[in-house]
Structure 1
Amino acid sequence: MDIAVGPPGIDPGWRSGAATGERRIVTVDEAAAITAENADDIRAWQSLALLNEGEELSREDLERIRLIGFVARRGIAPAELARICEEQGDMLASFTRWGITPGREVAMSREQAAARIGVDPELFDTFWFAAGLRDQALVYEEDLGIMQAANAALAFGLPVEAMVQIVRVLAASLDRVSETMTRVFHLYVHERFRAEVRSGADLMAATQGVADPMTDLVEPAVVYFHRKAWERANREDLLLHLMEETTPPSETIGELVRTVLFVD
């Protein structure tokens, strides 16, 4: 089934103009295709004041749709979410801002994405699942870049099983990094504000006042620590090269043989 909004890689669903204040918009049906949510559900969420009204939705609305669908699948009904937002302020606003990234304006199936970058669909799925994206129903432009990079590594001569291991470790490690950052911030900052008997919009404003400027520090920190880890790993790899005269190749490709000495 063709679920892309227009041909893959084309952005015909987005429009801009004076009437929209130069904010690009999509229709409800296009938003449903891009987010893999039901159009009737989206209209129901509009009636709950969780989204802008009318048939035209903004990029912010798209991300709100993703968030509403996510929390609904995790057990918080849209009506309950609407009640919380009415009583405590717009709980989705900051998460919407943090979730908006370039490259999510056009959606396509995995089969379309594989054809787009010239990869066998089965191989594309192998990378997709290794990257921990099994629960993401659609492929976006931002996803194509990393899939193309993985495919390029294969063209350079890296075996598929090696690429899969690298992708799996990258995804799992950065999942832990991101979860640690968000949980620690929540426990040490947000909960401290809650302990000061703040609530509702005041609580969210206080939390966002600390969180918003800190988001700009995340990617530089990840790049810095990866660079340091890369340096250490390459030094260890140098030792492997220097010991090749005394360590014959393993009979099994991809296997690293080590001797462990226990001293009592």
Structure 2
Amino acid sequence: MSEPERITLAEVARRAGVKAATLRRWVQTGVVPGPTDGVWTAAAISHARLVARMRERGHSLAQLREATAQGRLAFGYIEDLLPPATSDHTLEEAARETGLEPALIERIYSTVGFNAHALRQISADDLQFLRYCAAVLAAGFPLVAFLQMSRVYGQALAQVADAEVRLFHLYVHEPLMRDGVPGLEMAEEMEGLARELLPLASPMMDHVHRRFLQHFVEQDVIGHLESDFGDSEPLDLGRLRVAIAFADLAGYTRLTEEEGEEEAVSAVERFVENVEHTLPDDARVIKTIGDEVMVVGSDPAALTDWAVGFQTLVAERPLPRIGIHYGETLYRDGDYYGREVNLAARVAARSAGGEVIVTRSVVEQAGSHLEFELIGEVRLKGFKEPTELFLARVADDD
């Protein structure tokens, strides 16, 4: 086994951006853990850098000493696993290496969600990422589609990374602090766990991605084939004709007040899981906002069948309320926009707990096993013309 690298206090101070005397004082006063057996560990070096940044932000040494004692600065596990990127290339060099115009590189970075500072720190890994981008465009993938796909990747993976960090903090870091584990020991323990988990993240995500990709390719083929069989007029580029459902929990705010946030959030989690697990194959949850779920599917009849059946499965409060509309939407960055989406949201807002309210465009596509009671022409908020609304339910056998 090779000897660990022996880094001097002066070198650690340089990496932290402070004077050696300052770092020595921090070690002596317990603000920063010193070397172990004469060796500065990655955790200790990271701790010193973090203390330096916190001092720049105005935090006192007393505050930082207390945070160190509590283990709140124990983040060194990330040092070896995800070392900070080094600025190896300028924007102009990256443009020459990849064949991409500097303005396009800036646009790609902005679309993915990287800030402007990232353009001044283009590492070797960043350069390889840009080579991949150039290869996709060289293969003939349209730029407008590529930028939308990049934005979806950025938003989705930012959410993944944010969740990974927050869940690790909540369920690993916090329990260790509560158990009184010393800060440096805590950082090293988290490093060991993260070292085992991090290599598993990419293959897990790759598997999930491929499974979903296979599913949606199949659904897209079916959807195109069925649309060709129909009498609908062709749509403009970037537009899709879909069924849109909005569903939420009636009385959610009251539940939060009466039962507390934990119970209310649990109710929302159960609701969203039940929606996801029961949707027809052609439909998926596009997004959730609080207790509201937006669902889009290619088949309005199947989505209405699901909604009516879903309501029959719910017996306890708060009851869901669901509104469905069918129309032409603008598809952008993995989401759906336009008048018809807004109309679907307004329809849902007019429904009560346990109800499924739909528009005439949905009724015209539905099967005979459902019946629709005309509520009347209703003027929905934000719309000049009234909209016919119907209450959907299972048809009587009579």
In structure 2, the CA distance between the partners of 1:182 and 1:150, relative to structure 1 (3 Å rule), is same
> TM-score scaled to structure 2, two decimals?
0.46
Q: Is 1:85–1:91's contact at 8 Å kept on the other side of the alignment?
A: no
The alignment status of 1:98 with 2:98, answered yes or no, reads no
In structure 2, the CA distance between the partners of 1:210 and 1:140, relative to structure 1 (3 Å rule), is closer
Task: Using the TM superposition, name which of 232-241 and 68-77 deviates more.
Answer: 68-77
Structure richer in helix, relative to its length: 1
The alignment status of 1:118 with 2:103, answered yes or no, reads no
Indicate the residue corresponding to 1:190 in structure 2.
Answer: 173
Deviation at 1:108, TM superposition (A): 1.9
Indicate the residue corresponding to 1:215 in structure 2.
Answer: 198
Query: Which runs of no fewer than 5 residues in structure 1 stay unpaired?
Result: 1-19, 29-38, 51-59
Q: Is 2:74–2:186's contact at 8 Å kept on the other side of the alignment?
A: no
| Equivalences for residues 74-85 of structure 1 within 5 A | 75=57, 83=65
Q: Whose RCO is larger (CA < 8 A, sep 6+)?
A: 1
Deviation at 1:127, TM superposition (A): 0.5
* Residue identity (%): 23
- Which amino acid in the other structure matches residue 23 of structure 2? L
Structure richer in strand, relative to its length: 2
Indicate the residue corresponding to 2:383 in structure 1.
Answer: none
> TM-score scaled to structure 1, two decimals?
0.65
* Cα distance per residue 1:190-246 (max 9 Å; x no partner): 222223233423333443343332222211211111111211221222123313524
Query: Which runs of no fewer than 5 residues in structure 2 stay unpaired?
Result: 25-31, 33-41, 244-325, 327-360, 364-390, 392-398
Deviation at 1:164, TM superposition (A): 0.7
In structure 2, the CA distance between the partners of 1:209 and 1:147, relative to structure 1 (3 Å rule), is closer
Task: Using the TM superposition, name which of 171-180 and 134-143 deviates more.
Answer: 134-143
Larger radius of gyration: 2
Indicate the residue corresponding to 1:138 in structure 2.
Answer: 121
- Which amino acid in the other structure matches residue 103 of structure 2? E
Indicate the residue corresponding to 2:240 in structure 1.
Answer: 256
After superposition, the CA RMSD in angstroms is: 4.3
CA distance in structure 2 between the partners assigned to 1:168 and 1:176 by the alignment: 12
The alignment status of 1:170 with 2:165, answered yes or no, reads no
In structure 2, the CA distance between the partners of 1:249 and 1:78, relative to structure 1 (3 Å rule), is farther
- Which amino acid in the other structure matches residue 48 of structure 1? L
| Equivalences for residues 50-65 of structure 1 within 5 A | none
CA distance in structure 1 between the partners assigned to 2:208 and 2:188 by the alignment: 30
Deviation at 1:162, TM superposition (A): 0.9
CA distance in structure 1 between the partners assigned to 2:5 and 2:183 by the alignment: 32
The alignment status of 1:226 with 2:201, answered yes or no, reads no
CA distance in structure 1 between the partners assigned to 2:51 and 2:143 by the alignment: 34
| Equivalences for residues 144-155 of structure 1 within 5 A | 144-155=127-138
Number of equivalences: 225
The alignment status of 1:128 with 2:121, answered yes or no, reads no
Indicate the residue corresponding to 1:42 in structure 2.
Answer: 17
- Which amino acid in the other structure matches residue 144 of structure 1? L
Task: Using the TM superposition, name which of 216-225 and 104-113 deviates more.
Answer: 104-113
* Cα distance per residue 1:73-112 (max 9 Å; x no partner): 99476978985797578835312112138xx455222232
Task: Using the TM superposition, name which of 106-115 and 230-239 deviates more.
Answer: 106-115
Q: Is 2:70–2:182's contact at 8 Å kept on the other side of the alignment?
A: yes
In structure 2, the CA distance between the partners of 1:92 and 1:123, relative to structure 1 (3 Å rule), is same
CA distance in structure 2 between the partners assigned to 1:244 and 1:216 by the alignment: 43
CA distance in structure 2 between the partners assigned to 1:40 and 1:185 by the alignment: 26
Deviation at 1:70, TM superposition (A): 10
The alignment status of 1:156 with 2:160, answered yes or no, reads no
Secondary structure of the 1:119 match is coil
The alignment status of 1:235 with 2:218, answered yes or no, reads yes
Deviation at 1:176, TM superposition (A): 0.8
Deviation at 1:139, TM superposition (A): 0.9
- Which amino acid in the other structure matches residue 169 of structure 1? V
